[in-house]
């Protein structure tokens, strides 16, 4: 379920704050949104290998990027 939440958050950033998403192109916004769509609408067609690989590789990389992205988001709000 958490991957769906991550993907939904990515969709909201892309739709509501496209400029911010473009500035932070190093974040795989489209990939996260796509994964969310596959998981939310794939029902019984979800391939666990397709889900497990990003958990092992893409999620740790994303976690490294997020502190800088979060700081920039905070700077833009203040």
Q: Which residues are catalytic?
A: 36, 41
Q: Is 43 left (phi over 0), alpha (psi -120 to 50) or beta?
A: left
What would the DSSP string read from start to end of 38-73?
HHHHHGGG--HHHHHHHHHTHHHHHHHHHHHHHHHH
């Amino acid at each position: 379920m958490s991957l769906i939440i991550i993907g939904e958050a990515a969709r909201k950033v892309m739709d509501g704050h496209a400029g911010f998403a473009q500035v932070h192109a190093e974040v795989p916004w489209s990939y996260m949104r796509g994964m969310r769509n596959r998981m939310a609408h794939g029902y019984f067609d979800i391939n666990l290998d397709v889900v497990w690989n990003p958990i092992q590789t893409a999620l740790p990389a994303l976690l490294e990027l997020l502190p800088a992205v979060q700081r920039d988001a905070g700077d833009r709000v203040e």
